[in-house]
């Protein structure tokens, strides 16, 4: 009310990141934690709103009521978040996966950028496997032709939907590979694999 330029700056700084986040969410997987840098702006806006509290009402009581309402509204989302895995279990998956593969096997990580967390726990040179990155069906076909008959494992996460929105890679897997299981949000498919 007193400083309109500061108010416009605050509104602009709160809305612009959401617009950018909305644009980016169509190109990459987004998580609400990516917007945590906006917290100080919300604190400023909340503090400025206390000026509108009538003189006869204690701001402490209003803050307590608002916090209780926020807690009650967020409770349904907080319970599942804190009761299970919220991230992919690469450590556990890699330990199990190392026991499944043999020397010369092919490992295809989907989408390709998931090799960063996967290779942190899994070492294909120690395991004797060949590792590839893929997001599209044509890459999967070329890997399959190059290594025809070789046991091939496809490691993928839900991020494949963002990296391959048309879904041709998932269709190819459904038609040409066998689902071997999942662990902590990581799915495993196999082709020419003797046992899961």
| pLDDT above 90: percentage of residues in the chain | 33
Bigger pLDDT: 17 or 157? 157
The ranges assigned to domains in the chain are 4-83, 90-191
Decide if pLDDT at 27 tops 60.
yes
Decide if pLDDT at 22 tops 90.
no
Decide if pLDDT at 85 tops 70.
no
* Mean pLDDT, residues 89-107 taken together: 89
Q: Which of 59-73, 137-151, 161-175 has the highest mean pLDDT?
A: 137-151
Reduce the secondary structure of the chain to three states and give it as a string: CCCHHHHHHHHHHHHHHHHHHHHHHCCCCCCHHHHHHHHHHHHHHHHHHHHHCCCCCCHHHHHHHHHHHHHHHHHHHHHHHHHCCCCCCHHHHHHHHHHHCCCCCEEEEECHHHHHHHHHHCCHHHHCCEEEECCCHHHHHHHHHHCCCCCEEEEEECCHHHHCCCCHHHHHHHHHCEEEEEECCEEEEEECCCCC
Specify the range with the lowest mean pLDDT, choosing from 39-43, 49-53, 58-62, 178-182.
49-53
Mean pLDDT of the chain: 85
Cβ-Cβ contacts under 8 Å for 17 (sequence gap 6 or more): 35, 37, 38
Decide if pLDDT at 92 tops 90.
no
């Amino acid at each position: 009310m007193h400083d309109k330029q500061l108010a416009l700056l605050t509104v602009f700084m709160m809305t612009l990141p959401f617009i950018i986040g909305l644009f980016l969410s169509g190109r990459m997987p987004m998580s609400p934690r990516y917007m945590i840098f906006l917290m100080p702006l919300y604190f400023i806006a909340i503090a400025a709103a206390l000026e509108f509290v009538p003189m006869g009402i204690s701001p402490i009581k209003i803050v307590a009521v608002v916090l209780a309402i926020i807690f009650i509204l967020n409770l349904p989302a907080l319970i599942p978040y804190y009761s299970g895995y919220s991230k992919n279990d690469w450590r556990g998956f890699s330990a199990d996966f190392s026991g499944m593969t043999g020397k010369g096997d092919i490992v295809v990580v989907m989408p390709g950028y998931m090799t960063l967390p996967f290779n942190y726990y899994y070492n294909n040179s120690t395991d004797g496997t060949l590792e590839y990155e893929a997001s599209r069906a044509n890459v999967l076909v070329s890997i399959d032709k190059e290594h025809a008959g070789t046991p091939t494992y496809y490691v993928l996460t839900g991020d494949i939907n963002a990296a391959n929105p048309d879904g041709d890679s998932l269709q190819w897997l459904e038609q040409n590979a066998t689902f071997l299981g999942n662990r902590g949000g990581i799915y495993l498919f196999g082709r020419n694999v003797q046992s899961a």
